[in-house]
Structure 1
């Protein structure tokens, strides 16, 4: 750096005076030389800042290269500042959210140790929430993460040193003429403008958002009184951070302005670079060529083209009816899935179950790995109900639920598309002798806790209760890090909190069905808890719910109860663990399994109580030797 420039910066820092040359800027589009880029962030040829691309589990950072002196050295107060930027999130699939992005003030540009996925490239599980981070972020979040207390999967939040927002609201903007806020979809793919303004005098931070074409609303979406002096250091970097997870949206920034001790300059919206378009018009030259062709040649080519299309469409013929439009769920074309699975060839077959065959596939354009389940269904009304359930379940967002991406229909066949889980189903690791590795105790604990967390989300953390109705080891899938995710929502049903479950046919898998279900026909959260209890015992014991005939007890639950009454409950633990575990931990989880699979529904805990028992936040009640436990108090 030029010595005179360095001297000027030092004088400014010592006197608490900021030089306009260094405390404001405006970018109507970007150049590579203007920003510090990290991770997968890049500048496109037309000047877009692209923070993330279609690469999974990655992060992207972009910072203004020159650090800003944000504090008055005389009194230690943070200067007022204002920034404005235009962003857009283009999802991989319509209405399928991925991880969002954040505007960030940080002491450094590298954000060392920051992780992708839910951490937005800002923090990790160790430093999230640590006051030593000195990070202020405005998150534009499109994932509901219960660990961070998110309000929904489409919100704006103010974050200080961690991803648990101190203030958050559903993405929306104030409409002047009606005096109300109107909701925005952050994953609409449309450009939106954000203003972040901090007043040193009022010690107040405002965040305002609107569609790019709408002027800055008079009412901010978020307004928080906060003194940033303890968060902001003397010198900070400002920029953006984003990350990808299982879904890979493209996060773009089109323009950006910043000013200290004043209002950020307005962006020249008409000169901002254009976002990528999925629509491609015909070129003028092609149009001219076609118009120049003779009528006879045109008719001949058209006739051959129509005949070819008819033959080709016959192969990929599919049905789209009016009632499907109301569900607003992503529908894949049959042709797309046919190519993804290489024609549903046997080499791509992952497994065969009671509801159909499952194939591995790779979407041709995005190279996303998927699992496709084929289901034959002859009833039109039944097909409508199944698609309705798919529409409902596709909105579920939880790290321990297999993400349902969409569906396709062709004649009497329904195809359901899920995210691909590289390690397959849990039952293969428990019972397949050809598997070279045995699940260790910590992995089994983690899987049990993950499935419990997913069930808590289904039962209590949604607007409607979701009853899964088919919890078992073969419906728990493992990702590349051996994290358990509950899948196969083919039997799930939704109903409102406080309402009674409808009487239905008894469905599920023998060995996991609660005794009252065979009498009443009502699937409830309590019947899910029973199946989860059997699942716990299955994972710990490494044995199927219905054991071999030579066993003293036909049912696994009965065998564990017998061992508990005899005072030798640890003997039921999987022998392949070779005793490599904490006996107290194994005994606790076995008792939780017995409690969940109690024959009396009222004696079973809720999934929230199960999580509290697993976390040690709730004492396990005494389980009498006769198997009649007391009820837990609601906490």
Structure 2
């Protein structure tokens, strides 16, 4: 009897242990953490391997190859439940500025085996874009593939069944301390962490990126509505896919955490393996000993050349007679080079039609600046550079970005501005609700930019035409005050004079109809652009949105039609909520319409617009009665009806036209 009871107790204990182990095994299938991969049983193929220190290497420096690594168990995604994952990666390029292709986190119904190079080992030329793939991926891409519409060679994208990302962004993370995005260089070799979350209820994917050790950013890099129930099948594999093309990088995963039914467990970064660094040249001890006196002399001469000739030439500058007037504002190239740590990508703030802008800190004064390197592959760059020097050198207004100075050297044209800590306005208007401004803040910005334009048109010693007023050229300081910037297209003429004919310049959606016919920029063409700017601030969308319904593609037409129907407030930005001052919203929308009038004489002056915004004048409703019913026909000239304008891709935000801008000889 006692023996029977003891046997029963033993069997019960065995069943309990077996059940616990089975439960733990199920947990390991759907919820796992790898702080390094020592002892893991990941399924690997291609170039993928686990190093002795626990580092997962997806690819090595081998041409045209792929590497894959998968969690060993299939995961049940029936009903497309939510999931959360995070991992730390590092990409080490074979040589600086010669990076291979990237890698991707993937969820797929089987072990994928795509092509190398731009296909990242996920898909190939025959199945890219097919709905039968049932593949979801987050690509970390270090090579720009034009056939997939990549924006640059340093971006993160959300892919569904295709390498044409449904949404992508240049690598960056939201810096909580400074309240702005900081750039990241994916191929730097520095470990970075990615967080990916899918909410099956809200049908939303969020992707965040940050340097390893930095707390997860509050604002994700990517956030988009996506119903993965249309993509997933019941049984899916999770893992990584990477590839190299003719250029190579080594891609590493240091740690990985996944949870199908909740938030992924945090990684212990203190337990993650280190990343190896490639060395471009290794001196062997035996070779060093065997160097002859002659070789030593050659080395010494080479060092002398590097130190005293090449490095001196690095900072060579050019000075011409016309610069004497602006001499006190001139910076040395050496100071600007050191301020940006050699104009590294991590200091890049953005790119425009005429150059790149970098963040820097002047070493002597510790002042933060923004440094614009003007593109100058033709004489256009020099003309734009001189235009900006001439127009901004003496202009001073609280709502304009101050120009601190400039620099010229062989092959380099540089402008130095005050640093605007909150970036450009467009990212707050069109950035998928990640960054938003209240209506009070927007209205204050409109007043500020209106004041700056009134100053340029009427208050300075010459008339200054900005010719490129738009949200991306409005920068925000630390208090979110609007500052008008980028005077690369500016033009001056004396008060009372008639502006000379020039080629069309500006941005599609902001160009006055008469400008494409006559080529003459006037204060009225600036007013037209300001009208488009007012409407985009109030409506939260760009002047031309090809993906909208036909009646909404051209913003001014839609607002005008709603005004005729008495529903103009329906065009306001829905993200603003109900706490807006209705009178001010109506005023801005109606002023925007009036400024966008196809007939230049019907547009108000900037002084009158400013008086209306400040409450010192009342906008007459009769002023809008004359707005032509066929405004769309006139507005269409802006984007599609003039051979003088170089149109941008309709699926992209408006881009500056390719033009030849001439500066008046009046200065």
TM-score scaled by length of structure 2:
0.47
TM-score scaled by length of structure 1:
0.49
